[in-house]
Structure 1
Amino acid sequence: MKIVELDKAPEKENPHKVLAKGLFDTEQVQVVHLELKPGESLKLHKTPMNVFFYVLEGTGIVVIGDEEETVSKDMLIDSPKGIPHLLRNESDSLFRFLVVKMKE
């Protein structure tokens, strides 16, 4: 059994300059914990694999293609490969979510 504690998980450098911690990484799946402080945002980008986001805490904005939605705790958001997407925190509190990438 392998258990990963968030506090002890390694930080991952990323082009968005936000706190990202790698929780799980295999040939099939990668799970990253992301934290956006008020005013922080991911840059608009595409991924070469299907991704989903699971909101752990707070409220944020998700943009996928030409769709934009406000999301909050316990919501799962599907983001198909090759479609530009971003997440941003326009609230006054922390926005935390998991990014799950399904590798091909």
Structure 2
Amino acid sequence: MESRFWKDLPLVRDKDGVRGTKIYSQPEGEIVHMYLEPGAKLPLHNTPVNVAFYILEGNPTIIIGDDEQSFAPDTIIDSPKNIPHGIINNSDKPARLLVIKMPKP
């Protein structure tokens, strides 16, 4: 059995109030724990694989293509490959979510 705590892992992103930690990385997929400070934004970008966002805490706004919506904890959102997507935390509290990429890019 292997286990790890996200706060103990190295950051893969630490910029503009957005911190990302790769908590799972295997050939079949990747999971990144994202932490967004209040007011932080992950700019729109494309990925060559499908992505799912699972909201852990807060009510971040997910942007996929021309759609933009805030989501509550325990919601999962699908983002098709090659469609621009981003995240904004418009609240005054931190937001945390998992970014699941299948297969691994």
**TM-score normalized by the length of structure 2:** 0.92
Query: Runs (4+) of structure 1 moved beyond 4 Å?
Result: 14-17
Contact 2:17-2:40 within 8 A present in 1 as well = no
Contact 1:16-1:43 within 8 A present in 2 as well = no
- Give the counterpart letter for 1:42 in structure 2: L
1:37 aligned onto 2:2: no
| Corresponding position of 1:5 | 5
Shift of the alpha carbon at 1:98? 0.3
Equivalent-residue separation in structure 2 for 1:61 and 1:43 (angstroms) = 12
Contact 1:30-1:102 within 8 A present in 2 as well = yes
In the TM superposition, 1:1-104 aligns within 5 A as 1-13=1-13, 18-103=18-103
Contact 1:62-1:70 within 8 A present in 2 as well = yes
Q: Which structure 2 segments of 5+ residues have no match?
A: none
Equivalent-residue separation in structure 2 for 1:87 and 1:31 (angstroms) = 16
Give percent identity, aligned residues only: 39
- Give the counterpart letter for 1:34 in structure 2: M
Where 1:59 maps in the other structure, the secondary structure is: coil
Pair 30,8 (structure 1): closer, same or farther in 2 beyond 3 Å: same
Q: Which structure 1 segments of 5+ residues have no match?
A: none
Equivalent-residue separation in structure 2 for 1:67 and 1:75 (angstroms) = 16
Where 2:33 maps in the other structure, the secondary structure is: strand
Aligned positions, number: 104
- Give the counterpart letter for 1:87 in structure 2: I
**TM-score normalized by the length of structure 1:** 0.93
